[in-house]
Amino acid sequence: MITLLVVLKALAEIAALALLGQGLLYLLVGAKREGNIFYRVLDTVTRPIWKLIRFIAPRFIVDQHIGFLAFLALGLLWYFLASNTVSLCLDDLRHPSCGKLAVEYVKRCEMGMDQACQLLERNGIHQAPVQAPAP
Check whether 130 has a pLDDT greater than 70: no
3-class DSSP string for 7-18: HHHHHHHHHHHH
Tell me what pLDDT residue 127 has: 63
Tell me what pLDDT residue 132 has: 42
Distance, CA of 73 to chain centre: 12
Residue type, 128: A
Measured CA to CA, the distance from residue 116 to residue 59 in angstroms comes to: 49
Give the chain's length. Answer: 135
Q: What mean pLDDT value characterizes the chain?
A: 87
Tell me what pLDDT residue 128 has: 47
